[in-house]
Structure 1
Amino acid sequence: MAIAVTIIVVVALAAGATLGFVSATARQASGRGARRLPKAATSAAPTGGGDRGSSVASLVVEALDSGVVVVDRDERAILVNPAARAMGILDVDTLAFPGLVALARGVIETGATRAASIDLPMGRLGREPIALAVNAVPLRGPDDRVTGVCLLLADVSEQRRLEAVRRDFVANVSHELKTPVGALTLLAEAIQDAAEEPAAVARFAGRIQHEGNRLARLVGELMELSRVQGAEPMPGAAEVEVDVIVDEAIERTRLAAEQASITVSATCTPGLRVRGNAAQLATALANLVDNAVAYSGSWTRVAVTARDSIDEEGRPTVDIAVTDQGIGIAEAERDRIFERFYRADPARSRATGGTGLGLAIVKNIVTNHLGEISVWSVSGSGSTFTIRLPRVHPGGPSSAPVESIRETLPAGQPTARGSRP
């Protein structure tokens, strides 16, 4: 609010300092009956002479991030700054949207300052719809007659989007926390009622432990998401060896894979390096491996591969892929799997303690490392998630891939070293 008020004051001062120029331009435009925006009026700076104050004020208007449009009594634009032109709100020399026209007309008729929030359907111009906070200030001549209107336009689309995201996030967190907390309360009451039944107490205690672990994981992933979401690009940037990241990710998921009787293997081109935060990159990859294990059946394989590649613009990259033989992802759900709290299979997520935050964390970490993540999947046949990161020190031709010495095998299954799944 304070920023908006400050901008309004600045524009008001600038408008007052340039009132003579605006009024003169308005009279000239009206006298000529021109329908096209005068060339001299497409910039906030007057083309003729003028005192130093008018020039400074005009430069201020020109440099504002907020859009400034001055229309005369005939509702024709006679002064437009670059920010307003970029918003695409003009049709030649008139306001292109009824909401803006009605606001300007009301100020001309009443002579009173007005403010409004106006949503512009910009789709017809090939642009996303935008939301504007508009302040309309009357401009008066020497006889105190309203000669025009100064419209100050601030694009608040991003602010609205962030507010919507924040509301959704709070609602989702409240819902997700309510489930384990409610379960813990009910289980505690059940233990009290079954105090004389050791078998029932043991069963309820096991459920309490499960729900407690789920709650701890949810809180931990919320904290991790808060750290990586909106963070600066390349946090704690340093050169990181990719095979070290891969080994760390496999080590973190070793126990879960062994319990599920799933083999996790790694095939890495040696010498690959990326720039970034090793701990965050290991977390992102571990989340992908953990998801692959959670959504795969027993005695299947999860393969982690890392190789050098080239992106569409010819720049060297490292592609790290996690491939599973699990249930796959339906095509209709692939665009949503990176949303917070979204679960492709809610029943399996509840059974495995999934929070629906893992892939959101992965996407934020990859984005912060100037990379991208993609997914290929066939429902019922498995999935492949690929992280692509900029490569450092590409060097010469790479040697043939060799499989990492780290491999998680379920008990009783022979090692298949040297072969890819």
Structure 2
Amino acid sequence: MVESYSKQKRFITDASHEIKTPLAVIDAANEVQEIESGESEWTQSIHEQVARLTALTERLVFLARMDEGSAGFTMTSIDLSEAVDKAAAPFESVAVSRGKRLSTSIACGVRAHADAAAVAQVVELLLDNATRYASEGSVIELSLRAVSRVQGKGATELVVSNAVDELPEGDLDRLFDRFYRADVSRSSKTGGSGVGLSVVRAIAEAHGGSASVCGHGNQITFTVRL
């Protein structure tokens, strides 16, 4: 069983690396096509799909490294408020482009012992998820604050909350499972891969924290403690 699991992880890592090269070639060829013939909805679609597959392969490699304990985080004392604000800023325009609005409430001077790049990735993945699946015209709320430790799990709390058309049925915690998508048809339309939230939880737990989700009415809330 252990050997089979190890082989599976190696396969994911090797396959992901093998996929990256042809994706880069396709994207380069597509850019040449645009230079010669101009942009079109087809070349734009190719760019989007290549970007989607590239992001997926990078996340798969990351998860495989996390499983092996070789993610290589650089843990230092960071200004978490600044890191979260910087990572969230680009999503104001992303939210607008997707018919939503982003509202942030970030407490000043919150610090944490963490990997700055990993924290940015958590924020980006949570907001990418929210801007894709939040109800049309709704407000996505992001907040950061210092909190008391609960069972040793984190002294800071990052929360992303938004309205959805319909909460997924069953155990919401399954949203953190790899490749789990509550609505496959909608995920294919929005470009979701079913891996992002798995990365969020993996990063949180690697920092000695946690990632959880809860739903009430038509509101879904993701909470990360670090």
TM-score band, normalised by the shorter chain? 0.7 to 0.9
Q: Is the 8 A contact 1:328 1:378 kept in 2?
A: no
The Cα of 1:371 is off from its aligned counterpart by 0.4
Partner of 1:387: 224
Percent of aligned pairs with the same amino acid: 28
Unpaired runs of 5+ in structure 1?
1-156, 189-197, 390-421
Counterpart-to-counterpart distance in 2, 1:378 and 1:322: 14
Partner of 2:74: 236
Q: Secondary structure at the match of 1:288?
A: helix
Partner of 1:371: 209
Superposition RMSD in Å: 3.2
Q: Secondary structure at the match of 1:332?
A: coil
Partner of 2:164: 326
CA gap 1:276/1:202 in 2 versus in 1, 3 angstroms: closer
Residues 295-329 of structure 1: CA deviation (Å, up to 9, x unaligned): 01232111111122223347871111111112354
Q: Which has the higher helix share?
A: 2
Unpaired runs of 5+ in structure 2?
31-36
Partner of 2:33: none
Counterpart-to-counterpart distance in 1, 2:82 and 2:141: 16
The Cα of 1:332 is off from its aligned counterpart by 1.2
CA gap 1:360/1:270 in 2 versus in 1, 3 angstroms: same
Q: Is the 8 A contact 1:308 1:316 kept in 2?
A: no
Q: Is the 8 A contact 1:293 1:302 kept in 2?
A: yes
Q: Is the 8 A contact 1:233 1:368 kept in 2?
A: no
Runs of 4+ in structure 1 off by over 6 angstroms are: none
Partner of 1:211: 49
Counterpart-to-counterpart distance in 2, 1:267 and 1:311: 21
Q: Secondary structure at the match of 1:247?
A: helix
Structure with the greater alpha carbon radius of gyration: 1
- Kindly indicate whether residue 5 of structure 2 is the aligned counterpart of residue 162 of structure 1: yes
Q: Secondary structure at the match of 2:113?
A: strand
The Cα of 1:227 is off from its aligned counterpart by 4.3
Q: 2:113 aligns with which of 258, 261, 275?
A: 275
Q: Is the 8 A contact 2:76 2:113 kept in 1?
A: yes
Partner of 1:259: 97
CA gap 1:316/1:373 in 2 versus in 1, 3 angstroms: closer
Q: 2:85 aligns with which of 235, 243, 247?
A: 247
TM-score (norm 2): 0.76
Would you say how many aligned residue pairs link Structure 1 and Structure 2?
Answer: 207
Structure possessing the higher relative contact order (Cα contacts under 8 Å, 6 or more residues apart): 2
Q: Secondary structure at the match of 2:175?
A: coil
Counterpart-to-counterpart distance in 2, 1:245 and 1:161: 39
